[in-house]
Amino acid sequence: MLLLLLASCASQRTSRRHNYQTDAIQKVPATVSVATPIVTEEEGGKDESVVSARPLVSQVRRAPQGTWQAAKQQALDELCRSSLFETTQLGLYVYDLTDGQPLYAVNAAHRMRPASCQKIVTAVTALHYLKGDYQLRTDFRIRGKVVGGTLSGDLIVVGGMDPLVTQEELVQAAAAIKLKLGITSITGEVIYDLSMREDTPLGWGWCWDDDYGPLSALLVDGRDTFSQHWLKALAQAGIKTRSKGKVSSTRGATEGSTFVYTLRHSIDELLLPMMKQSDNIFAECLFYQIAALGGKKGGGHKQVAERTEELLRSIGLNPEPYRIADGSGLSLYNYVSAEMLVALLGYAWQTEDIRQHLLTSLPVAGYDGTLQKRMVGTEAEGNVLAKTGTVTGISSLAGYLTTAGGHTLAFAIINQGVATSAAGRNFQDRVCRELCK
């Protein structure tokens, strides 16, 4: 069961020992879009290949009768004949990671909105570039001299877009700075350096009524309330300030300054709520870590899109059909496909430093996160590790599952145009249950 591997991943990462006993698998190739019917025999039955909307990169073939693969293809054929698809769109792709072969596909290359399955794209891209030992930082610096308990100069807080910073940690930071510098007052400014990210309050393509944000490089408990809590923490530590706080989004905000303290959090601490609970602000914070890669100031969705496109090319996909607009999936401008999601999942599975961090962050069917109440009491319980996605008109599910025969499958299901999210979820659960039987 994937649940056992999940527990193993968590245990091994805690002990900092990364020795995974998983079968070596071939690189997962780009997948293929097919038109309904999903698996068809050509005339004469000599070449049992799928009907394809474009030249094949990899093929889904009808499995020999009597095999478990043939049984699954037939069962999924039946599920896909649902009246649901008379008025809605489906993007579906299933890849057998154990055999290194595609198993099933419907419209796998069709451009669709991913909803929160966009977080898979964000997580895999971040783990690819930033690596599993990456830490989010909030740095505290001073500019000026300390004389007789007074800082004659500025106290600068450099935002690292870390949603894990808490009010309690700010109190601890203020106390630590007072102890280190021996100060009781600041005559200069308290400066907030927000230059890490682009100066926009919301993600690109967010709706005006989305109840998220504003986004900021300095957050407390995931909210844009850093200034008020930091001034309160300084006062609690016995440090008097004349400044009410000055925001700086320029590159030179820290010139001539000296480092005094930092708050750090691991990428795993961010991934857990981002994936398990589908926290959108956490996803945006990871998104902007990618944008800031290499020390670039004022980064945004364009920089992340470039990085993601580089990754997609490296795993054999043409990135041109896709659009990366944000990290959470809230944007109306995101476009992915089932094949893209599965290709990234396949790449993550092969790459140990990505797999170990991604697996432990995914919701487990019947156990936790956004899948806690789904597939309970079925063969899929504990066997499906996947990210859910829900926005108006879109329901999605993508991740991994284990078959009864012990094969590990990567899958992506996007239901678009559904009147209710429940309609999509019910179909997704039926697919997963069938594959786990």
DSSP string over 30-99 = P---BPSSSS-PPTTSSS-B--BSS--SS--BPPPTTSHHHHHHHHHHHHTTSGGGGTSEEEEEEEETTT
CB 286 within 8 A of CB 297: no
Amino acid letter at 319?
A: P
d(CA 184, CA 240): 6
Q: Give the contacts of 330 (CB within 8 A, at least 6 positions apart).
A: 203, 205, 206, 207, 210, 212, 280, 391
Protein fold of 121-362? D-tyrosyl-trna(Tyr) Deacylase; Chain: A; (3.50.80)
| 95 token code pair | 């890849």
pLDDT in tens, the chain (437 residues): 555 455 444 444 433 322 222 332 333 333 333 333 333 223 333 344 333 333 334 578 899 999 999 999 999 999 999 999 999 999 999 999 999 999 999 999 999 999 999 999 999 999 999 999 999 999 999 999 999 999 999 999 999 999 999 999 999 999 999 999 999 999 999 999 999 999 888 898 888 777 777 999 999 999 999 999 999 999 999 999 987 777 876 667 888 999 999 999 999 999 999 999 999 999 999 999 999 998 878 999 999 999 999 999 999 899 999 999 999 999 999 999 999 999 999 999 999 999 999 999 999 999 999 999 999 999 999 999 999 999 999 999 999 999 999 999 999 999 999 999 999 999 999 999 999 99
Q: Which two tokens stand for residue 180?
A: 């280190």
Token representation of residue 366: 């019947």
The Cα 68–Cα 84 span in angstroms is: 26
- The pLDDT value recorded for residue 297 is 86
Q: Are strands 89-96 and 246-248 parallel, antiparallel or unpaired?
A: unpaired
Element (H, E) at 232: helix 226-236
> What pLDDT is stored for residue 250 in this prediction?
65
Containing 226, the helix (H) or strand (E) segment is helix 226-236
Q: What is the pLDDT of residues 116-139, one digit of tens each?
A: 999 999 999 999 999 999 999 999
3-state secondary structure of 8: helix
pLDDT attached to residue 1: 55
Determine how β-strand 150-158 pairs with β-strand 185-186.
Answer: parallel
pTM: 0.87
- Looking at residue 246, its pLDDT comes to 77
**Hey, where are the domains in the chain?**
121-362, 372-379+416-437
